[in-house]
Amino acid sequence: TSGKLICFDQDRQAIQHAEEILGLDKRVTLINRNFEALEVSLQELNLLPVNGIIFDLGVSSPQLDEAERGFSYMQDAPLDMRMDPSSTLNAREIVNTWSEAALAQLIWQYGEEKWSKRIAQFIVQSRLERPLETTGDLVQSIKAAVPAAVRRSGPHPAKRTFQAIRIAVNDELGVLDRVLDQAMRCLDHGGRIGVITFHSLEDRIVKERMNSWLGRCTCPPELPICRCEAKTIAKILTRKPILPSIEEVEQNPRSRSAKLRVAEKI
């Protein structure tokens, strides 16, 4: 076939792994950049417009499995969580320098954690004794903050806080918000965009942005005529998100929270 596959990843290790698998295929181009550089990169390669774009969001399994990256609350490692190791902000800086109020807001907003204020309080108390250097230090503070009855039921008590800090370190929601309209501009007419999300905050952004492409008027109802000049630029092909099958979840438990939404440029 004559198609081309352009792959983006800001993690150099992911690019190296892809080179081992796909590197000899001349139809494949690997780009070691955040996909926020989608439009400019495709312009530089003279590949616009494209027929399809797929975003697979969130942290990858290799990043979770490599303890030294600091993404996992199940393994003790230095507090890092950077997808791009060359970026300046890391998890250690956030937990040791941000104010209690800022930490509480972060954990509530990005982790949707109802114990956010208490967790932030315990993190600040812990770092007064000594800086939190590892994921184990952070997990210990979180477990101390969450009541025992809550810890015994539901997911790991550190899950939501780790998610929140990881999102902040990598500006994941900001990047997603900035890239979706880029992707629509890059598509040829009839081209499709698919986005795989792994938590409700990502899915909400994707759902709302795709709905904005439907061209529905956003003017206040009291206005006699439309002023927003909304234009329909896409149709949504997934009325509800596509979820993994039972078989897929059994084979890959990490897929259980995945949701796929697809839109087509018109």
- Quick: pLDDT tens for 181-211: 999 999 999 999 999 999 999 999 999 999 9
Length of the chain: 266
Strand, helix or coil for residue 35: helix
Identify the domain containing residue 57 by its residue range.
5-61+172-265
The pLDDT of 87-113, averaged and rounded, is 97
Last residue in a domain, options 126, 145, 170: 170
Rounded CA gap, 64 and 71, in Å?
A: 6
What does pLDDT average to over the chain? 93
| 183 in the same domain as 161 | no
If asked whether residues 82 and 201 sit together in one domain, one would say no
pLDDT at 162: 96
DSSP secondary structure, 86-123, as one string: TSS--HHHHHHHS-HHHHHHHHHHHH--TTHHHHHHHH
Single residue among 170, 197, 221 that ends a domain in this structure: 170
In terms of pLDDT, which residue wins out, 220 or 80? 80
Tell whether 117 and 166 lie within a shared domain: yes
| Domain boundary pick from 170, 204, 229 | 170
Total structural domains in the chain? 2
Mean pLDDT of 168-174: 96
**Torsion on CA atoms 192, 198, 200, 205, rounded to nearest 10:** -30
DSSP annotation of 222: T
CATH number at residue 197: 3.40.50.150
pLDDT band at 1 (very low <50, low <70, confident <90, very high): low
Residue 56: predicted pLDDT: 95
Q: List C-alpha distances in Å: 152 to 29, 63, 133.
A: 47, 27, 26
